[in-house]
Structures are given as C-alpha cells and as structure tokens.
Amino acid sequence: MSENGKIEWTDHTFNPWSGCTKVSPGCDHCYAESMMDTRLHRVRWGAGQPRVRTSHANWRKPLQWNAQADAFFAKHGRRQRVFCASLADVFDNAVDPAWRVDLFDLIDSTQDLDWLLLTKRIGSVVPMIREVAAQRPNLWYLHEPRLPDNVWLGATVVNQTEADRDISKLLATPVRVKFLSMEPLLGAVDIGDWLTPSYPHCGTGFSQGGGMADGYCGTCAGHASDPIHKLGRRDLIDWVIVGGESGFGARPMHHAWARSLRDQCAAVGVPFLFKQWGEWYPMTVDGEKQTARLPDAKEVALDRQYGVTGARSHEWAADAGRVAQPSIISIALGKKSAGRLLDGRVHDEFPRHEVA
C-alpha cells in the first residue's frame, strides 16, 4: 500500500509487503497489527504467519513519485522522502529474500527519491544487504556491500537497553544517512556517546584509518586526492526523531525524556524532530490551586475531566525523568489534542543530504 505520507517526517509511505513479528517493547501496541490484523483481518501477525506482498499497481507508485521529482523540488526546494515500510520491516527474516531484491531494484530505479528504511532489526541489515548484493553488483563497493546513496537507514530505539545494544550496529552499517526513531519513547535515554564522531569517514561510508594526516584510508587504500576518497564522513547519528505512543493501550512519555534528547542533539548540532506527544500530555500541577495547563496554555481545574486519579491520568514520581521535577501528571487527551509542541514550539529539523 502506498499513500501520501501522513507521518510528520515523510512525504510518501510505501509498503512492499505487510506483516511482521513483535521483537521489541516498542512493538507491544503495534498500530499496524491493530489495523491490518485485528481490525481489517487482512494479514495475520506474528511468527510463522505469511507476509503478504502488495499489488503490482502499488509497486508502481514510487516510479510515479520519481517522475514528479523536478516539480516537487521546484516547489519545496528538496527531494521527496519515502518511508518504507509502515506495515512491515524490510529486514524481517520471514520475508521472501527475492522480494527484498525487488525492493532494492525499485530503490535503484528511483534515484530522485530518498528512501527511509526504519528497522527494529538493525543487526540483520548487513547480512541481508550482502545477500541482495550477491545478485546485484551495484551494491558492492571495494569488496564490501553498502546501501544505495538514496537510502537513509534508521533504527528504532525506545529505551536505554536498546540504545546500548543497537546504535553501534547502526553506526557500523555503510549508509550515507543514519537516524534514530525513538518512538514510542519509554524511558530516559542518553545517546550522547553516539552524537559526536569517534573518527572521520571516507566517501565510501567505511571507517577511516588514522595513521596519516593527509587522509590515508585503511579501507580503500587511497588518499584524499583520489577521486573515490571524499573526506568528511562522520561516525555519528545524523538525525533523531522522538515521539510518544498513541492508540489503544498507549503508555505515557515524561516530558523530561523528550527535553533531554532535544538538548543532547542541540548541544552538538544534530537535527531533532519531535513527532508527537501521543495519547498522553504531561502537565505541571499547581498543588495549591489544584490546576494544570493544557497544550494550548489554558489553565484547567483538576476535576472529573482532568483528575489526578482514574484511567485518564497518570501521576509521575518526582524523579521519573531522572532529575528532580515539580509534580507532574499526564492526561490522556488523545493524539490530536496533545499535539506536537515541545516547550511551546514545533521541532521539525531534518538532515541535509546530497546524493553524489
């Protein structure tokens, strides 16, 4: 299924197939499962269930978007972004490997689109790209497979455990743009170690040797003057997306968690996008007045509608954000009402990316 993207950070959404298996705490309330399995009964979710390939007509949609590239760029001053796949995971090992080859053929045929591949299986990317590259020589570079230049690779990270386990795997993957999707954010996360470069990279996307000041590269055995050797590649996260959970059973996100990630990114100039609060909106409570403030700055009484007890509210411990905080509650307002303002402003930053 394809569509113009309703997701804040994409222009189009393309699903080459649908179906998946839960592998992370972030999957607990999967919206794709809720829609495709529980509500529409189109695809059965979980291990052992077949993945369902979408129609030929759907697969032609990206070709149409690619044909519109000049008009889009003239209007917006940038390339189109395509999120693949919102109802599946490109690097799911239950998917027919031939389908993945077909997908990368499509990506190669749409060089005027930037493809955003977001996965919860970041450790599977390199071996699966190696499988594709065995049939598609264009994915080989200097005896190693690499993702196409028009691909942005993202890893979903929802807590510190996943950050510690998966971010290094993302950084080790040869791809031009690397990003994190921290949605649903389920706890405080420190990503500072991955927001600054540990060493420079060459234009191939592989790490550079540090033995010679003129830019000698231990991977490609070239020099800075060589045409294939482009200095400036950094070993860091290029972009961070943060959001709270929405839908049935959504878990609240503490505002200190989102603020901390925003500030970590701002400190080193990494683009930050705050996608949404989700179902829950956090509010500081005035204990004396028994009031709180909504996203539109309206002060409301903590009465039956905005009470501090019951299913529509969540009261945080004073240290829930890892630092001492005033009394905080989160109210289940719904995604639309909660909005996407963080400290009174929209954060819509994107990485600058030029395809060679």
pLDDT at residue 228, as a whole number: 43
| DSSP symbols for 140-160 | EETTEE---TTEEEEEE--SH
Residues of the chain where predicted confidence (pLDDT) is lower than 50: 1-2, 5, 201-216, 220, 222-233, 308-310, 324
Q: Residue 333: what pLDDT?
A: 85
Tokens of 253: 């996100």
- 130-165 burial, b at 16+ Cβ within 10 Å, e below that, comes to eebbeebeebebeebbbbbbbbbbbbbbbbeebbee
Q: What is the DSSP letter of 244?
A: -
* pLDDT tens-digit map of 135-167: 998 888 767 788 999 999 999 999 999 999 999
Cβ neighbour number for residue 67 with a 10 Å cutoff = 11
pLDDT at 214: 41
Task: Report the distance separating Cα 83 and Cα 355, nearest Å.
Answer: 17
Q: What's the pLDDT at 294? A: 62
Judge contact between 239 and 351, C-beta under 8 A.
yes
Read off the pTM.
0.85
* DSSP H or E segment with residue 64: helix 56-67
How confident is the model over 54-106, as pLDDT tens digits? Answer: 999 999 999 999 999 999 999 999 999 999 989 999 999 999 999 999 999 99
- C-alpha distances (whole Å) from 5 to each of 19, 106, 293 are 19, 19, 31
**pLDDT value of position 212:** 40
The residue ranges of every structural domain in the chain are 2-276, 280-338
Report pLDDT for 27.
81
